Amino acid sequence: MTARVGVVTFPGSLDDKDAARAVRIAGAQPVPLWHDDADLKGVDAVVLPGGFSYGDYLRCGAIARFAPIMTELVPAARSGALPVLGICNGFQILCESHLLPGALTRNESLHFINVEQRLRVESAGTAWTNRYTAGEEILVVLKSGEGRYTAAPDTLDELERTGRVVVRYTGGAPNGSERGIAGITNEHGNVVGLMPHPEHAVEALTGPSEDGLGFFTSVLAHLADGVPAGSSAR
């Protein structure tokens, strides 16, 4: 049976169509989800896409966190059952929801950054990265103004110690992220958030590479295996 992967549209989401397209190219069925409906429509996994939900009012992701769809999503994600990928604004929403630790703050340079960025996959043990090899380098787009990952030093230490840093910027973080962190996962490995955009790197015609497709094929492999994320050695 074809896996069904939901993509949530918030007011101000920009990359929901691209995320749905990446899901389709990976071989799954994208299912549009609406921020104002507390209904996950029985999907097998969810992508929180990039953009500027609710105009980034207050803080990026701070309002989206309380959207009706999140009342369904948060408990399912926290339990380890539902794979959730947050890209860019989606990562900010996951941090504001406390599904992931830390926060994303203003880029150190104060400039909006729009570059093709090399990343190193640090953990291939998550629901969204199992088709990569740890240490593999990928090229995807980074486009954000508030992408500087920060967390308390002991939280950063714990993320490193438990293999929960998923992707890291190579050659230094352009936004000043602490320890070069571009993306992290929760303790179950089912929730992954990252600032760069794998959904924009899924085919040669429109992206800098096809390196991002692995995130979407990974979740299909994860769902097909029926193995809880994080059960394999990272």
Partner 1 sequence: MARVIVDVMLKPEILDPQGQAIVGACGRLGFAGVEQVRQGKRFEVEIEGEADEARLADVRRLAETLLANPVIEDFELRVE
Residues with catalytic roles: 88, 197, 199
CA–CA gap between residue 48 and residue 12 (Å, rounded): 12
Q: Which of 37, 108, 160, 187 binds partner 1 (CB under 8 A)?
A: 108
Of residues 122-161, which lie at the interface with partner 1 (CB under 8 A)?
148, 150-152
Minimum distance from residue 66 beta carbon to partner 1 (Å): 8
88 dihedral zone (left: phi>0; alpha: psi -120 to 50; beta): left
Stretch that binds partner 1, among 46-54, 68-76, 77-85, 101-109 (CB under 8 A): 101-109
228 SS3 class: coil
Minimum distance from residue 52 beta carbon to partner 1 (Å): 17
Of the two residues 97 and 123, which places its CB atom closer to partner 1 in the complex? 97
Stretch that binds partner 1, among 38-46, 75-83, 97-105, 224-232 (CB under 8 A): 97-105
The two three-digit tokens of residue 206, written as one number: 């429109």
Of the two residues 4 and 59, which places its CB atom closer to partner 1 in the complex? 59
160 SS3 class: helix
Of the two residues 135 and 153, which places its CB atom closer to partner 1 in the complex? 153
Q: Say whether residue 113 binds partner 1 (CB under 8 A).
A: no
Supply the DSSP symbol for 53: G
Among 37, 36, 42, 51, smallest CA distance to 5 is for 42
Give me the 50-89 binding string for partner 1, x by CB under 8 A, dash otherwise: --------xx--x---x-----------------------
Minimum distance from residue 84 beta carbon to partner 1 (Å): 19
The arrangement of strands across the sheet holding 137-144 comes to 29-34, 4-9, 45-48, 84-87, 191-194, 181-185, 165-169, 113-121, 137-144
CA–CA gap between residue 52 and residue 155 (Å, rounded): 27
Minimum distance from residue 152 beta carbon to partner 1 (Å): 8
Answer for the pair 145, 107: CB distance below 8 angstroms, yes or no: yes
Which positions lie near partner 1, rule CB under 8 A? 58-59, 62, 66, 95-96, 101-103, 105-110, 148, 150-152, 176
